[in-house]
Amino acid sequence: MNDAAIGAAFTEDNAKIASVYGAGEVFGGVNPGDRRALFHLIAYFKPKRVLEIGTHVGASTVHIASALCRFVDDGKLTTVDIDEVNGPQGAWKVLGLSAPPASFISRLGLEGITTFVTKPAAEMLQGPERYDLIFLDGDHSAPAVYREISAALKILEPQGLIVLHDFYPGGKPLTPDGGAIKGPSMAADRIYSETDDIVFLPLGLLPWQTKGGGNATSLALTTKRN
């Protein structure tokens, strides 16, 4: 997570993103530190086909697409949301952004590698397309995350990765004054009780700030054991 070359690329690309999207937090969006972590993950693992479940306002979308454009030949991102995120009354409008996610993607020159889909996660995860990395950041209830992980594993390429957001190990806050979303970790506990073939790896502390002035991230990697 502290590769100098990737860090330099992020600094350059993030400045471009900030000039059109802004650099601060957006309610319900991935925080700036986690956006940086996603950029680093894409740059390091170089997945050719990426699926994002939960576009929302596109905070993570623009960073994933930017990393794909810079580091992955023929990389493609499909980002999915149950709501019409690019519509005139989408979350972007309600939360005071200047434009919908597709507009930011276009202004950054990333429209050629990014596809927006309006569809329930359960339908999208049925395939037949397969992916090298799947970012799950939609419904955070334990039953939904359990179903989505189970389905995602079936369309994940060998050696592929699932990235979870809002993963709080043991359902406990990551900071003394923070809260915790319990669904993803509860889903992981259920999966652990059923199989030893799946591993969950919380990223823990990052080399940069994330939320609330700390360095803890709620991102976690999920993959099949070799």
The 10s digit of each residue's pLDDT in 59-73 is 999 999 999 999 999
In order along its 226 residues, the chain shows pLDDT tens digits of 778 999 999 999 999 999 999 988 888 789 999 999 999 999 999 999 999 999 999 999 999 999 999 999 999 999 999 999 999 999 999 999 999 999 999 999 999 999 999 999 999 999 999 999 999 999 999 999 999 999 999 999 999 999 999 999 999 999 877 889 999 999 999 999 999 999 999 999 999 999 878 999 999 999 998 7
Separation CA 50–CA 65 (nearest Å): 9
Q: Pick from 119, 126, 191: which is nearest to 155 by CA?
A: 126
Fold of 4-224: Rossmann fold (3.40.50)
Domain boundaries, the chain: 4-224
The structure tokens listed for 37 are 């972590």
pTM of the full predicted structure? 0.96
Q: Quote the DSSP letter at residue 216.
A: B
The 10s digit of each residue's pLDDT in 112-152 is 999 999 999 999 999 999 999 999 999 999 999 999 999 99
Please provide the DSSP assignment of 59-97 as one string: HHHHHHHHHHHHH-TT-EEEEEESS-TTSTTSHHHHTT-
Burial class from Cβ neighbours inside 10 Å (0-12, 13-18, 19+) for residue 149 reads: buried
Tokens 């690329």 belong to which residue? 9
Q: Pick from 190, 224, 220, 189: which is nearest to 204 by CA?
A: 220
